[in-house]
Structure 1
Amino acid sequence: MANKIQLSPKKILNKQFQIDFKGYSATEVDYFLDTIVEDYETFANMLNDSYEQIERLQKDNEALKAKVSHLEKEKLLQQDNIRSMEENLSSNVDLLKRISSLEKEVYKDKD
């Protein structure tokens, strides 16, 4: 019950007090209540703006999480591509070394 707001700007604005012989000045009370209503309306607007901002930030956060996930998958794919290219390069270098050795042997006999 601590988080429940009991008054609204409309309830404050429409509140009627009994007039007593030794009561408060009605104009003073009305002025004070008008100030309270303005504060409540300002508070309500700030709260609504905060909720909208929270919702927008949560959507942005989800979008960024999805983007990070996509980029991590891309990174893994790129790493796999690099690994396979390195393996191909290594086997190509080995083949070139063998060909070079064979050429040396073939041309060595011709000299």
Structure 2
Amino acid sequence: MEIKLSSKIILEKEFKKSMKGYNVDQVDQFLDQIMEDYDAFEKVVEELRAENKRLKEELENTASRRTQVQQPVTSNTNFDILKRLSNLEKEVFGSKLFE
């Protein structure tokens, strides 16, 4: 969705005048309110974009840290399993293991 208007475009908009036209002061006041809203919307959109960018970067950093942390844990777990397996083999097979 593309934003087509800005407060500057609204401010510079010219309307044709006719005999039975609208009250110019009322139109100007209404356009002023619209411009204020657009300025507020633009500010909110920029803040949300910045927050979205920050959160995406934080998510990427967290994901990369988790990957780094999980790898050593896996190797430690594998070492523990191999150590337990070795001890189990010694208990089950005893001296036959080395023959």
Query: What is the TM-score normalised by the length of structure 1?
Result: 0.71
Amino acid at match of 1:30: D
Query: What is the TM-score normalised by the length of structure 2?
Result: 0.78
Counterpart of 1:6?
A: 4
| Unmatched runs of 5 consecutive residues or more in structure 2 | none
Counterpart of 2:19?
A: 21
- Determine the C-alpha separation between the residues in 2 that align with 1:59 and 1:4: 25
- Determine the C-alpha separation between the residues in 2 that align with 1:38 and 1:64: 39
| Secondary structure of 2:22 counterpart | coil
- Determine the C-alpha separation between the residues in 2 that align with 1:4 and 1:77: 50
| Unmatched runs of 5 consecutive residues or more in structure 1 | 99-111
Summarize the alignment of residues 1-111 of structure 1 with structure 2, pairs less than 5 Å apart: 3-86=1-84, 90=87
* CA-CA distance at 1:80 after TM superposition: 2.5
CA RMSD of aligned residues (A): 2.1
